[in-house]
């Protein structure tokens, strides 16, 4: 399925998810010029509290009904922190928005896939490729020619040297560093503050300086 990337100035934005990541995406989207239509989430909002993502339209299973009601001028973005869930919801969309915080810097030669979120003060270098439903979070650095495959998450303050490859659904923890040329396998986890000096196999969790394999908790 081909996913279109929809421009902020032509569409309102519907968020899939109402948790912490949705709050961040909604805030960045407003600053980037989106009008927020509201959100879907399986948890009903707490009575009396105004949600930053706007109106609650119902549970996630209501997506088709709500999309039809809101019409073609509403774009959708999966705004949940869990990598697997974000990708699953992306597959249900015929088109997906990209939200880029206005303080982020992305090279003109970089590519950003549908459903991705680029956070405040993040930096995307030349010829970097950011896959579908990827999160490059607050202050993260993705250097030249990096490839981040779909559904991965580069957490706040993490730094990827040039020509790093991050596999699908992998997590690079807060303030972790990955040296140039290193390959991180699919669904691997790099612990917060770690320094990765060599390739990490798929599904493996590494932590420390230098990072070494450890059991996932």
User: Where along the chain do its domains lie?
Assistant: 4-97, 100-205
Domain spanning 100-205: CATH superfamily? Hexapeptide repeat proteins (2.160.10.10)
Look at residue 70 and tell me whether its pLDDT is greater than 90: no
**Quick one: DSSP state of residue 72?**
T
- For residue 104, give the DSSP letter: -
Q: In what order do the strands lie in the sheet with 129-130?
A: 111-112, 129-130, 147-148, 165-166, 183-184
Predicted local confidence at residue 45, as pLDDT? 81
**CA-based torsion, 77, 106, 177, 144: positive or negative:** positive
Whether 112 and 125 have beta carbons less than 8 Å apart is answered as no
Average pLDDT over residues 64-89: 90
d(CA 120, CA 202): 29
pLDDT at 216: 64
What's residue 117's pLDDT?
97
Q: Residue 7 above 70 pLDDT?
A: no
Model confidence at 2, in pLDDT bands (50, 70, 90)? very low
pLDDT at res. 79? 96
Q: Which has more confidence, 129 or 73?
A: 129
pLDDT at 47: 61
For residue 212, the model assigns a pLDDT of: 96
pLDDT at position 1 is 31
Residue 133 has a pLDDT of 96
Architecture of the domain spanning 4-97? 3-Layer(aba) Sandwich (3.40)
Asked if residues 179 and 197 have their Cβ atoms less than 8 Å apart, the reply is yes
pLDDT-based confidence at 44, cuts 50/70/90? confident
φ/ψ (deg, to 5) at 68: -65, -40
Exactly one of 11, 51, 101, 144 is catalytic; which is it? 144
Mark whether 101 is an active-site residue: no
Residue 11 confidence (pLDDT): 74
Q: In the numeric block, which tokens belong to residue 181?
A: 């040329």
Q: How far is CA 9 from the centre of its chain?
A: 21
Q: Check for a shared fold between 4-97 and 100-205.
A: no
């Amino acid at each position: 399925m081909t996913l279109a990337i929809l421009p902020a100035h032509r569409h309102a934005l519907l968020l899939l998810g109402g948790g912490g990541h949705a709050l961040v995406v909604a805030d960045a989207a407003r600053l980037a010029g989106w009008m927020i239509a509201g959100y879907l989430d399986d948890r009903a909002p707490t009575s009396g509290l105004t949600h930053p993502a706007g109106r609650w339209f119902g549970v996630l299973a209501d997506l088709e009904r709500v999309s039809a009601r809101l019409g073609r001028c509403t774009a959708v973005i999966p705004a949940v922190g869990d990598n697997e869930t974000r990708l699953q919801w992306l597959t249900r969309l015929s088109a997906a928005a990209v939200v880029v915080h206005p303080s982020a810097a992305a090279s003109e030669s970089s590519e950003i896939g549908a459903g991705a979120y680029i956070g405040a003060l993040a930096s995307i270098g030349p010829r970097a490729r950011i896959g579908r439903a990827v999160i490059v979070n607050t202050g993260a650095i993705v250097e030249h020619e990096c490839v981040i495959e779909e559904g991965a998450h580069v957490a706040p303050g993490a730094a990827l040297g040039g020509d790093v490859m991050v596999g699908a659904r992998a997590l690079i923890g807060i303030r972790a560093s990955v040296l140039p040329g290193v390959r991180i396998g699919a669904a691997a986890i790099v612990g917060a503050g770690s320094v990765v000096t060599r390739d990490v196999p798929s599904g493996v969790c590494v932590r420390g300086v230098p990072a070494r394999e450890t059991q996932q908790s």
